[in-house]
Each structure stands twice: as C-alpha cells, then as structure tokens.
Amino acid sequence: MSDKRSVEEIAYDIYEKPLSGEDFQRLVDATLANEAEQAHIAELIAWFTRRYPTAEARLQYARKHTLAARAAATKPNG
C-alpha cells in the first residue's frame, strides 16, 4: 500500500500535528526515558554551547541558517 500524502503532509503528521494531552505526555515521558536520545541531546548541547558560547552567537547561528534555507528554497532550478 503506497502513501499518497505529500511530503509536507507526512512531515506535519510527524512533527506538527497536535496530540491529545495524554498522548503528548506519553511522548514526553518516552523521550525523557530514552537514555540514548538523552545522551545524544546532551552531546548536541555540549557542542553547540562550546562552538557558540554566547546567546548572541547562537541567535546569529540560527539566523544564518534560516537565511541560508530561504536562499536555497528560492534558488531557481538549473
């Protein structure tokens, strides 16, 4: 059986679709109980705060990547 949904619809269901209060709490609890996930998140934070030690540097990082994504999205094909 093929999935006829668009990429945007699939992404919405995975990341954006609001859950019931119970389901959301279950997901939070499961994420916090996942030791491998927690270790990975801790590593990401350690890298990010080491590489960008100030709030300003981190905000600039986010801004730079937002603008890069927009530039890529508006770049004409070919």
Partner 1 sequence: MRVDGGAIRRLERHETESAILKGMQGNVFDEGAFFRDLTKAGVRYLLIGRRALVALGAPVLTGDYALWIELDDTAALNAVASTFELEPNYDPAQAGRRGRYVLEGDERVDVMVARAHTTADGVPLEFRDAFSRKVVVPAYGAAVNLPCLDDLILTKKWGGRPKDAMDIAFLEALRKADR
**x/- map, 21-40, partner 1, by CB under 8 A:** x--xx-xx--xx----xx--
Per CB under 8 A, 10 contacts partner 1: no
Q: Which two tokens stand for residue 64?
A: 């730079």
Query: Closest approach of Cβ 2 to partner 1, in Å?
Result: 23
Note the Cα 34 to chain centre separation in Å.
17
- DSSP state string for 10-75: HHIIIIISPPPHHHHHHHHHHHHH-HHHHHHHHHHHHHHHHHS-SHHHHHHHHHHHHHHHHHHHHS
Q: How many residues bind partner 1 (CB under 8 A)?
A: 44
Nearer to partner 1, 1 or 73 (CB): 73
Identified binder of partner 1 from the candidate list 1, 3, 7, 74, rule CB under 8 A: 74
Among 3, 4, 15, 78, interactor with partner 1 by CB under 8 A: 15
